[in-house]
Amino acid sequence: MQARSIVWRGLTVLLAMAASGTVMTVASTANAEMRITSGPTISDFTATPSQLKDSGGSVRLTARTTGATKCAISSDATIKGLPTTIVCPGGHPGITVSVPGNTGSSVRSISFTMKAEAANGAYAAATLFVHVLPPPAQITSWTASTSTLSANGGNVTLTGKVTRALACVITVSPNNVKGLPVSLPCTSGTVSKTISLPAATSGTTNSWNFALTAAGLGGGAPTSVLTVSVTGKAPSVTAFSVSPTTLPASGGTVTLSITVADAYQCGFGYGWSGGSDPIGSSLPHSIDCTSGTFTYKVPFAADSTKFADTVVFTALVVSGGGTVTPNETPTVVEAAS
């Protein structure tokens, strides 16, 4: 009876251990020796790199395994060379794969699975993801409702068309426009901003360069720039004269004087009649002028003829808003020899 009780206790232990999944071998001797075995393991399953640009590229898949004789590698994407099975008894399986590019507008996540299998059929599996970014954002158009405003200034609407962009930034140079710079969402594919440019304060035309940048998951787009100008005020002339108005035959120097407003350039010319041209290369000539009275000295060569020289001066005043000619035509008479 004692021997039978020992047998039942042994069967009970074996049944309990079988239910728990533990495998045992029992020696035939009185002192039983047990050897516990376990299935394969996978650790440190890694992709290098784990993120790629839109063009895709090579990725190295590596892992650490124990208890495996072969490792099967597969993917949810069409990858050349996969699925494949490699031997991995050394515990350091690795393979290089070529990941395809991404032409979409969102990140493409590609899964890779490694299955490490033992000789007895037991296995372990691990999965990781390689992320392929979409192409960079793109600016397809960048326009203004007008490229030129009158001297009064006014409103301009800037509009950009983009693809694969999350955020857009509008900047301006010179940086003196209210409301800029500004960052705006542009996932819809369009970004728009209305700004106001000030009126001209002189004859100089003022220009602003507006730049649009767009950023997306795959990177930023090249900056696009457009220019909007406010035309300068139209110039005016209130006086144009010369002094002195007569010269001896030996020549001399006269001074042209012009009074203007809202200009940026004053040009002088002449016409003559008589014995010889006393001006030569001194005219035509231009000087910088804005608002106020400006002068320019003109030398006269001696008149060696028996005919007096008569020189009539002209002027042309220029600004961003146009040109104007004085009503006056001041004249100098140089005596004959």
Range of the domain at 240: 236-334
| Angstrom distance (rounded) from CA 162 to CA 138 | 5
In a 3-state reduction of DSSP, which class is residue 144?
strand
The residue with tokens 């000539």 is 285
Measured CA to CA in angstroms, residue 131 lies from 62, 95, 166 at distances of 17, 18, 18
Same domain, 11 and 97: no
Please count the structural domains in the chain.
Answer: 4
Mean pLDDT value across residues 215-226: 97
Please, are residues 87 and 118 in contact by the beta-carbon 8 Å criterion? Answer: no
Please, are residues 226 and 143 in contact by the beta-carbon 8 Å criterion? Answer: yes
Which pLDDT belongs to residue 337? 87
| Mean pLDDT computed over every residue of the chain | 89
Same domain, 122 and 79: yes
Q: Domain ends where: 93, 110, 132?
A: 132
Same domain, 268 and 186: no
pLDDT in tens, 187-202: 999 999 999 999 999 9
CATH code for the domain of 200: 2.60.40.10
Same domain, 53 and 83: yes
- Structure token digits, residue 51: 């993120």
pLDDT range class, residue 49, cuts 50, 70, 90: very high
Check pLDDT > 90 for residue 29. Answer: no
Strands 224-230 and 148-149: parallel
Same domain, 128 and 142: no
Which pLDDT belongs to residue 90? 85
Same domain, 322 and 240: yes
Mean pLDDT value across residues 177-193: 97
Q: Domain ends where: 70, 101, 132?
A: 132
- Structure token digits, residue 275: 């014995």
Amino acid found at 56: G
Same domain, 321 and 243: yes
Which pLDDT belongs to residue 286? 97
CATH code for the domain of 71: 2.60.40.2470
Which pLDDT belongs to residue 89? 83
Q: Burial level of 187, CB count in 10 A (0-12/13-18/19+)?
A: middle
Q: What's the predicted TM-score (pTM) here? A: 0.73
Please, are residues 94 and 60 in contact by the beta-carbon 8 Å criterion? Answer: yes
Q: Domain ends where: 98, 132, 166?
A: 132
Same domain, 128 and 47: yes
- Reported as type and span, the H/E element at residue 160 is strand 154-163
Amino acid found at 143: T
Check pLDDT > 90 for residue 294. Answer: yes
Same domain, 300 and 241: yes
DSSP result, 243-308: E-SEE-TT-EEEEEEEEEES-SEEEEEEEEESSS-S-GGG-SEEE---SEEEEEEEEE----SSS-
Please, are residues 274 and 304 in contact by the beta-carbon 8 Å criterion? Answer: no
Peptide bond into 235 cis (omega under 30): no
| Angstrom distance (rounded) from CA 301 to CA 149 | 47
